[in-house]
Amino acid sequence: MSDNKKKNLTPVQQEYQQFQSDREVKRPILKNCIKAFLIGGLICLVGQCIQTFFIYNFNFTEQTAGDPTIAVMIFLTMLLTGFGVYDRLAQFAGAGSAVPVTGFGNAVISACIEHRTEGMILGVGGNMFKLAGSVIMSGVFAAFVIALIKTILVEWGGL
């Protein structure tokens, strides 16, 4: 919480927050990082195997093999999400299962499943990007800013 917000609290509230914070069980950050590293790495290893499979068995290059690999990874995520496995994996792995593309797939698919009862258009259609929308928005905006910087440097910076 920002310090700015804390200023509006009364002394009694601040005292209790300190009191409560002393008793709160904190997230085990180091342990979570190690678990995220292992599971995240494992997911990437699976992805790498699939990519190599596409390169060796089909007519893909290292550049073009990315697309079918992502499609397969998201398909696997869809199955795992539907069978109720992915959220359990995520409770263990944390960022390890959220950061790879499978985490993005899970965000879309879980929202679709959740809102199926409200119908295909308003439910699934309207809520599909409820969680993933902000990721897409951030990605597009970040790409725009980077492109702008690159253009400025190349055009006027003489790089």
Integer Cα distance of 159 and 17 in angstroms: 53
Question: Identity (one letter) of the amino acid at 90?
Answer: A
Q: Which residue lies nearer to other proteins by CB, 72 or 98?
A: 98
Min dist CB 47 to other proteins, Å, is 17
Residue 92's contacts (CB-CB under 8 Å, 6 or more residues apart) are 35, 39
What's the half-sphere exposure (Cβ side, CA atoms, 13 Å) at 5?
4
Q: Which residue lies nearer to other proteins by CB, 24 or 155?
A: 24
Given the rule CB under 8 A, which residues bind other proteins? Answer: 1, 5, 9-10, 12-14, 16-17, 19-20, 23-28, 32, 81-82, 84, 86-87, 89-91, 93-95, 97-98, 103, 106-107, 109-111, 113-115, 117, 130-131
Q: Do 39 and 66 touch, CB atoms closer than 8 A?
A: no
Min dist CB 110 to other proteins, Å, is 4
Min dist CB 67 to other proteins, Å, is 23
Residue 54 is given by DSSP the state H
